[in-house]
Amino acid sequence: MKNESFLDMYLRYTSKQESPAEFHLFTAMTVVGAALGRKCWINRGYYKLFPNFFTILVAGSARCRKSTAINIGVDLLKAVPTTKVVKGKTTPERFIKEIEPEVANGRPLNILVHSSELSVFLTKQQYGEPMIHVLTDLYDCPSEWSYKTKNKGENMLRDVFLAIIAATTPDGVSKGIPASALEEGFASRVIFVFRADTDRRNAIPELTQEEQDLRQELCIYLAKIGEIECEYTLTPDARAWYIDWYNKMTPPADKRLEGFFGRKHDHLLRFAMIFAASRMLKVIDVEHLEAALLALENVEQNAPGAFAEIGGDQSTQFLTRAITLMQRRVRVSHSELLRILYPIRADAFKVIVETMIEGGYIKRDETKPNIYIWIGG
């Protein structure tokens, strides 16, 4: 293989597609993990850490092309015979039946759940139903797991490996995940990759022969990654780096990220495993941990955008739309913003504008107070 990693090649291959680069990176990382499966792990003393991710791409804008970003990556898994992709709406019983061990090379297949719209696979009501408990249990990739049904007795799964790649909007997160669930259970295991918009524009994307050849190289590369079998260990320098980082970790200011923070140390090691494997390496070095930390900090910094509408009402949805619009347009007049947010009431609109100003998202133009300017936040 080339010196270039699979992730580097993948980002080069997708550079002309309109989805944000972060969507492509985390899709590729999830796909690499699904190719590795449970035959690769890190020994955590009391448990094994496998390279599986529950990744959800979140964006309010259709221009972010969430589904396209996912499809490009998942399609490469056709080159990995040891990984099975599961799609569509299902019941817990049907889902368990579908992931019952099919054996390849003497091992059960790795399972990747692929959902272009999270609400199709998981609804808010399922937080009170068995499906969410099934997913939470299977996240740890148990060597044995049993599930009892009312009429069909007990199902037994062995050597489970389960990953998820899905997409939704902030409104979809709100409708699918209760606020209380962010701090525990399923949601604390999820990597929420949020982008309000994309800076990429490509009206007529076309692949050159070189890019088509690059896709074929990616398939071959991913198949080779899928053949890796090892216990991942840290070099002495990486071990010292990780211990120092672990001892200096501080809780997030945003209470909604406390569940994520509780698993951040394991997420870091999972990410580092992927960065090593993407270069066909079987040992984790400092550079892999540093790359993993950059990716984690990216998630942590932007994740609150995915939760913007959780626990809110209709005005919360208008606020999210207003922030997205301002970020995209940079300068918008009072009347134009009001028209775009229709059918919002004038009094509610005033509250949203003041909220954005006090939150540091926008300011009024000093010479034209009826013009709002995006300043970040």
Contacts 24+ apart (CB under 8 A), 316-324: 316/174, 317/171, 318/344, 318/348, 318/349, 318/352, 319/352, 319/355, 319/356, 320/60, 320/170, 320/171, 321/60, 322/352, 322/353, 322/356, 323/196, 323/356, 323/361, 323/377, 324/60, 324/61, 324/196, 324/197
pLDDT of residue 72: 96
pLDDT of residue 133: 81
Q: Where are the domains of the chain?
A: 6-231, 314-374
Identify the CATH number of the domain defined by range 6-231. 3.40.50
pLDDT along the chain (377 residues), means of 10: 85 95 97 97 96 92 86 96 86 81 77 84 61 86 84 81 91 68 73 88 90 96 97 98 96 80 94 98 98 93 74 63 80 89 82 83 90 84
pLDDT of residue 1: 45
pTM score, whole prediction: 0.83
| Amino acid in position 52 | N
Pick the CATH number of 314-374 from 3.90.1150.10, 3.40.50.970, 1.10.10.10, 3.30.70.420: 1.10.10.10
Q: Which residues contact 353 (CB under 8 A, 6 or more apart)?
A: 322, 334, 337, 362, 372
